[in-house]
Amino acid sequence: SQTIHQWPATLVQPVGSPLSLECTVEGTSNPNLYWYRQAAGRGLQLLFYSVGIGQISSEVPQNLSASRPQDRQFILSSKKLLLSDSGFYLCAWTVGMNTGELFFGEGSRLTVL
């Protein structure tokens, strides 16, 4: 069966520090991968998606970047965090069949102080 793992689950970082959140999918190949963010009082916002290794599309301009160094690995990064980067980050994958069904990880809660 397919599983998705995100880490770390919780992170507290000072403003200006770097960030790396990692997401790994197991049990499937060539998944479409997504990073969503939920900020306080707001809905889930799509940040990045990837249809293959090295292929990243950004949905909104921001202080973050994403990379896909391996087929089932998706990394969210920042060189210098801002207070506004605080939120709950969710990684998700699909089989690319346009069913609309996303499979989510458990999320990473980032607090920038």
Partner 1 sequence: GDSVTQMEGPVTLSEEAFLTINCTYTATGYPSLFWYVQYPGEGLQLLLKATKADDKGSNKGFEATYRKETTSFHLEKGSVQVSDSAVYFCALGQGGSEKLVFGKGTKLTVNP
Task: List contacts with partner 1 (CB under 8 A).
Answer: 4, 32, 34, 36, 38, 41-46, 49, 59, 90, 92, 94, 96, 98-107
CB nearer partner 1, residue 4 or residue 21: 4
Query: Rounded to whole angstroms, how far apart are CA atoms 32 and 14?
Result: 32
Tracing tokens 């060189």 back to the chain, one arrives at: 79
Buried b (16+ CB within 10 A) or exposed e, 29-47: eebbbbbbbeeeeeebeeb
CB nearer partner 1, residue 78 or residue 108: 108
Cis peptide before 18 (omega within 30 of 0): no
CB of 43 to partner 1, least distance (A): 4
CB of 32 to partner 1, least distance (A): 6
CB nearer partner 1, residue 36 or residue 74: 36
